[in-house]
A and B are shown apart, each in its own frame.
Chain A
Amino acid sequence: MRLIDRHAQTSRYRHLPAAEKLIAATGAMAVALTAESFLVEAAVLAAAVALLTLGARVGPRDLWRAARVPVGFVLAGSLAQATSLSLHGGLPSLAWPVGSLEPAAFVALRSLACIAALLGLALTTPLADLLHLLRRGGLGRELGDIAFLMLRIIWVTLDCLTEGLRSQANRLGFVGYRRSLRSLGLLLAALLPRTLGRARRLETGLAARGYDGALCFLRQEQPVSALRLGMILGGLAALATLARLGA
């Protein structure tokens, strides 16, 4: 759960402007989504993985742990896409139609390239920096504040959940299906008043500090560099050119 956030907070690229990293990631995704060649998808995937492992120094093991759930979905989805459902004789049966493997493999590679670009952003940029960017971009003060509050409360709520799960497991609370459901139900029912109580205490604390409806947070971010931005846009332009030539 905390793997991606831990990397984002300690990454070598942590202090680079979130705007630059967002442009790089979404630009790479846009190129991957609009390209029609395997070569471009492979180039986006390779560039994102190289930046993450060699640039941001994310270990291959951690990269795999962050990517394994989406990769599993992509494999299951591509398998369904590659097969064909037949209802001959009244009974449904699966077949491998000729030529179905290539489009399924292309979608899988495109998705892997986009997942790598997403991880390039997520593993190097704390979510709070991206929320600041969204708020500046017109998310609105109310929604921005709610999103910030959610982010602050999530981690302490997760701590409560983890401790509760450990206590219940130690008391054999997860032996059998019925007991597991009851244990989880008890935990969730206990968690809601605790979470709301925390929000009330936060409200009291803020009110004591002159809260006027605006939440302020400290930021540690370098200013946007024209050179870095030029390099990012140049790299994206090169990938887009490759996509046009390949099409």
Chain B
Amino acid sequence: MHIMEGFLPATHCVGWALASAPFVAAGAVRIRRVVRQHPEVKLLLGASGAYVFVLSALKLPSVTGSCSHPTGTGLAASLFGPTVTTVLSAIVLLFQALLLAHGGLTTLGANIFSMGIVGPFVAWGLYRGLSAAGASLAVAIFFAAALGDLSTYVVTSFQLALAFPDPAGGVAGAAGKFLGVFAVTQVPLAISEGLLTVVVMNLLGKYSAGELSALSVLSRRSA
């Protein structure tokens, strides 16, 4: 769920850009270090970024009967690690703004914060935490992908609520409104994304062990 161009006030655009900048810079520094040590990783990262873009362009069926687009943060964080995902998400969000008019340039910082930082870190944390607690791979992946998607949507709603507080209910009241408006599509979508990510990871584990091993270079070095 992207915040569209011009929807946030100028001060909020600057604030969210400043909040996102350190995470993107840290990811960029790590990527630069890995690429200098292993130049072949550059092509792998380019291909991975293209995969994340295509993943986010896929229409996903929702249990309500409608369809929408997945964020791909759960799958990307599981495959590439959260810091690499932050940088790839920043580039993907820039591409989505300029190739699809989804999101925007002024709202890029806010969108990176919700989809490129909070979503991947929540997904990665849940994946690692649940795996460490003894949950099966399918359970860990499902909750990582579903709650990674849901956290993106919750953060976006709070970003909108901070920008447009409700005259009566304040920021909390506005957050309730925005969560309510977008919950109709986002909650079923998060469940669908969780299920889809489990299917993809199961198949990748079964048939693409070589590719997963190549990608582990990225996640191990940059997580």
> With A33-B106, A83-B177 given, is the CB distance from A100 to B167 under 8 Å?
yes
Complex Cα gap A202–B43 (Å)? 8
Question: Once the chains are docked, how many angstroms separate the CA of A151 from the CA of B99?
Answer: 10
Chain A positions within 8 Å of B106 at CB level: 29, 33, 114
Q: Which of B13-72 contact A (CB under 8 A)?
A: 13, 28, 31-32, 35-36, 39-40, 42-51, 53-55, 57-58, 60-61, 63
Residues of A within 8 A of B9 (CB): 33
Q: Is the CB of B211 within 8 A of A193?
A: yes
Question: From B50, which residue of chain A is reached at the shortest CB distance?
Answer: A153
Is there an interface contact between A157 and B4, defined as CB atoms closer than 8 Å?
no
B215 CB to closest chain A CB (Å) equals 8
Contact flag A184-B51 (CB < 8 Å), given A77-B160, A196-B211: no
CB neighbours (8 Å) of A177 from chain B are: 61, 63
Q: How distant is the Cα of A92 from the Cα of B166 in the complex, in angstroms?
A: 14
Instruction: State in angstroms the CA–CA spacing of A26 and B179 once bound together.
Output: 30
Across the interface, do B42 and A97 meet the contact criterion of CB distance under 8 Å? no
Binary contact track B150-173/A, C-beta < 8 Å → 1, others 0: 000000000010001011110001
A146 with B46: in contact, given A84-B166, A203-B40 (CB under 8 Å)?
yes
Give the interface residue-count category, chain B.
35 or more
State whether A161 and B58 are in contact (beta carbons under 8 Å apart), knowing that A5-B99, A118-B97, A150-B95 are contacts in the complex: yes
Identify which of B92, B94, B102, B176 contacts A70 (C-beta below 8 A). B102
Residue B138 is within 8 A (CB to CB) of chain A in the complex: no
Q: Are B204 and A189 in contact (CB under 8 A)?
A: yes
Q: Are A149 and B5 in contact (CB under 8 A)?
A: no
User: Which chain A residues (140-159) contact chain B, with CB distance < 8 Å?
Assistant: 140, 142-143, 145-154, 157-158
- A192 within 8 Å of B (CB atoms): yes
Q: A127-B98, A181-B199 are in contact. Are A153 and B57 (CB under 8 A)?
A: no
Interface assignment of B203: CB less than 8 Å from any CB of chain A: yes
Q: Which A residues touch B48, using CB under 8 A?
A: 195-196
Known contacts A97-B167, A140-B28, A196-B211, A184 near B5 by CB under 8 Å: no
Q: Given that A80-B178, A199-B46 are known contacts, is A182 also in contact with B6, CB under 8 Å in the complex?
A: no
Complexed CA–CA distance, A200 and B145 (Å): 28
Check B43 against A142 for contact (C-beta < 8 Å). no
Question: With A150-B95, A181-B196 known to touch, is A199 a contact of B100 (CB < 8 Å)?
Answer: no
- Please report the C-alpha to C-alpha distance between residue A16 and residue B187 in the assembled complex, in whole angstroms: 44
In the complex, per-residue mask of A194-210: 1 if CB is within 8 Å of any chain B CB, else 0: 01101110110010000
Residues in A neighbouring B135, C-beta threshold 8 A: none
Q: Given A143-B28, A150-B46, check contact A107 B7 (CB 8 Å).
A: yes
Cα–Cα, bound, A149→B44 (Å):
9
Which residue in A70, A130, A199 is a CB contact (below 8 Å) of B4? A70
A-B contact pairs, 23 of them (CB 8 A): A25-B105, A29-B5, A32-B6, A33-B106, A69-B102, A80-B174, A81-B164, A85-B180, A114-B104, A122-B98, A122-B99, A146-B49, A146-B91, A154-B95, A182-B199, A184-B196, A185-B198, A188-B58, A192-B200, A192-B204, A192-B208, A196-B48, A198-B47
